[in-house]
Structure 1
Amino acid sequence: MNLQDTLYNWLSIKKVYEERQDDMAAKDTFEFFEEILRDDHHLENISIDKKPPMYIVSYTIEGEEQSKQFPIELIDALYESIESEPKYN
């Protein structure tokens, strides 16, 4: 999985896990994507800044600082979809 897709999935499930601390599936999925970022893509020092309309994810790869931006509305869509589904609440 490429870095862009991994970050997108990681950030989306991070939002879900932060909002649903008792959701073990969200926790496991978050940890899975975090492991991919760390082990496969070698990311360190990951930080997130929310500056509407974007989330800005900053990180270091092999000493080089980089960042990617993701629309808040797309990242939050997974959480909102889960919350609107009665069987998950």
Structure 2
Amino acid sequence: MNLQDALYNWLTIKKVSDEREEDQAAKDTLDFFAEILRDDHQVADLKTVKKPPFYYIHYNIDGKEYKKQFPIELIDALYESIESEPKYN
């Protein structure tokens, strides 16, 4: 999995995990993507900022700082889909 896809997946499931604190599957999935970022891409110090119209991810690789942005509506789509499905509530 490339770095951009791993960051996107991590941020998407982070939104779900943050909003659904009791959702163990979301937490486990978040840990899975965090492991991919750490082990496969050497990403450290992940931080997120929500500043419309984007989420920003700040991170380090080998001591160098990077920033990636994703549209809020794209990241929030999974959470909104889960919340709108009665069998998940």
- Counterparts of 1:9 and 1:73, CA distance in 2: 14
Instruction: State how many pairs are aligned.
Output: 89
* Paired residue secondary structure (2:69): strand
> What's the CA shift for 1:43?
0.6
Q: Which residue of 1 aligns with 2:11?
A: 11
After superposition, the CA RMSD in angstroms is 0.5
Consecutive unaligned residues of structure 2, counting only runs of 5 or more, are none
TM-score normalized by the length of structure 1: 0.98
Consecutive unaligned residues of structure 1, counting only runs of 5 or more, are none
Identity of aligned residues (%): 70
Listed one character per residue, the Cα deviations across residues 12-42 of structure 1 (whole Å, up to 9, x for unaligned) are 0000001111111101100000000111110
AA partner of residue 25 (structure 1) = A
TM-score normalized by the length of structure 2: 0.98
* Paired residue secondary structure (1:60): strand
> What's the CA shift for 1:6?
0.4
Alignment of structure 1 residues 1-89 onto 2, 5 Å: 1-89=1-89
> What's the CA shift for 1:45?
1.1
